[in-house]
Amino acid sequence: MTLEYWNSLANQLILISALLSGFSIAVMANLIVSDRNDTLSRRLLKISTTSAGCFLVADFAMTKISMMTTPGGLLKNVLESDFLLPRIIGLSAFMVGLVALAILISLSGWTKSRKAGVFSTVVGIVTLLLILITMTDITL
């Protein structure tokens, strides 16, 4: 892949990661101030914290890639191998964040009722599957 492609990809992932980390942090903040202290609420807090942390890591890893691949930037003669570590860390953190967010969606309905829990679980699973399908060129 060209450096220009990596630059565009990194910039898109920065935007997506920033938005999703903000969402995860908002959920986490609501759970922290909540009076509920049951097992499900504690799990939701852990999952939202994991999601927020992973998206923030991905955001900064992709920022490093963006800075390295920006034409006219401070670094000259950059090769794709120069940003191998941030690429692995960033993409791995992004994927873990997506899975954690889908789990968060899946479990959220269970705080209200069984019916809402089943619905949110189905929505979370379908969401994750559709995201993975669209990210991997799998066609139905």
Residue 21: closest CA among 59, 47, 63: 59
Helix locations, the chain, DSSP H: 3-33, 39-69, 84-108, 114-135
Q: Cβ of 12: how many Cβ atoms within 10 Å?
A: 12
Task: Going residue by residue through the chain, which has 140 residues, state the pLDDT in tens, using 9 for 90 and above.
Answer: 788 898 999 999 999 999 999 999 999 999 999 888 899 999 999 999 999 999 999 999 999 999 888 887 766 777 778 889 999 999 999 999 999 999 999 999 999 999 999 999 999 999 999 998 888 865 44
Tokens of 13: 């992932």
CB 109 within 8 A of CB 121: yes
